[in-house]
């Protein structure tokens, strides 16, 4: 008789295919500029009133942590200006940025806030100023410099301005 033909072992059983991962849900649609956390919204009239109040503080000394009347820091000036206009906003510049509705710079109107930091990182915010119109802003910038009106500085701004 002829020798048996060599046989190859059967292939190992096929592994179970990996299950398909669950698809990730689509993120919810949102306002591209961010709504902010504030429950109240300021009107154009309140923005103008906030500017008028802040302009009345021009020449007041800068005071770290100051909320007036003898001195202001940047966010003390903006929070007190909006308070005088009838709207309460957060005390610090970073908290103000979280609270306000984000707007494009070409939509700026009197009373809107301009935030400064490094890159696009909101946790790096170190300064806030208030837009007064005509390319100008009012700010309490640093020790030794009283509250002043100056041209808007575009270097170091956050990607969006804020509207209380």
Catalytic entry in 16, 22, 52, 74: 74
pLDDT digits (tens, 9 = 90+) for 26-78: 333 334 445 677 667 899 999 999 999 999 999 999 999 999 999 999 999 99
pLDDT at 120: 85
Active site annotation includes 26: no
pLDDT at 29: 37
Q: Is the pLDDT of residue 155 over 80?
A: yes
C-alpha distances (whole Å) from 11 to each of 4, 8, 31, 121 are 20, 9, 56, 56
Strand partners, 75: none
Catalytic entry in 18, 26, 52, 139: 139
- Report the C-alpha gap between 114 and 64 in whole angstroms: 19
- Report the C-alpha gap between 126 and 156 in whole angstroms: 10
- Report the C-alpha gap between 80 and 63 in whole angstroms: 14
With bands split at pLDDT 50, 70 and 90, how would you rate the model's confidence at 12? low
Name the CATH architecture for the domain at 55-163. Answer: Alpha-Beta Complex (3.90)
SS3 36: coil
Among 101, 96, 97, residue whose Cα is nearest residue 83: 96
pLDDT digits (tens, 9 = 90+) for 17-39: 555 555 444 333 334 445 677 66
Active site annotation includes 139: yes
- Report the C-alpha gap between 79 and 2 in whole angstroms: 101
Concatenate the DSSP letters of all residues of 92-151 into one string. SHHHHHHHSEEE-GGG--TT-EEEE-STT-GGG--EEEEEEETTEEEE--BTTB-SEEEE
Interval 6-16 mean pLDDT: 58
Asked if residue 69 lies in contact with residue 59, where contact means CB atoms within 8 angstroms, the answer is no
pLDDT digits (tens, 9 = 90+) for 91-146: 999 999 999 999 999 999 999 999 999 988 899 999 999 999 999 999 999 999 99
Active site annotation includes 16: no
- pTM tops 0.85: no
């Amino acid at each position: 008789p002829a020798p048996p033909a060599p046989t190859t072992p059967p292939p190992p059983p096929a592994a179970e295919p990996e299950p398909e991962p669950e698809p990730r849900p689509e993120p919810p649609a949102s306002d591209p500029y961010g709504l902010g956390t504030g429950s109240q919204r300021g009107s154009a009239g309140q923005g103008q009133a906030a500017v008028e109040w802040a302009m009345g503080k021009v020449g007041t000394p800068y005071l770290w942590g100051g909320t007036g009347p003898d001195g202001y820091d940047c966010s003390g000036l903006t929070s007190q200006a909006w308070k005088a206009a009838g709207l309460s906003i957060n005390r610090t510049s970073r908290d103000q940025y979280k609270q306000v509705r984000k707007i494009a710079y070409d939509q700026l109107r009197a009373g809107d806030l301009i935030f400064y930091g490094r890159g696009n990182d909101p946790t790096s915010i170190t300064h806030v100023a208030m837009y007064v119109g005509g390319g100008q802003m009012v700010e309490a910038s640093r020790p030794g410099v009283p509250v002043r009106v100056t041209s808007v500085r575009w270097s170091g701004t956050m990607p969006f301005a804020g509207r209380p």
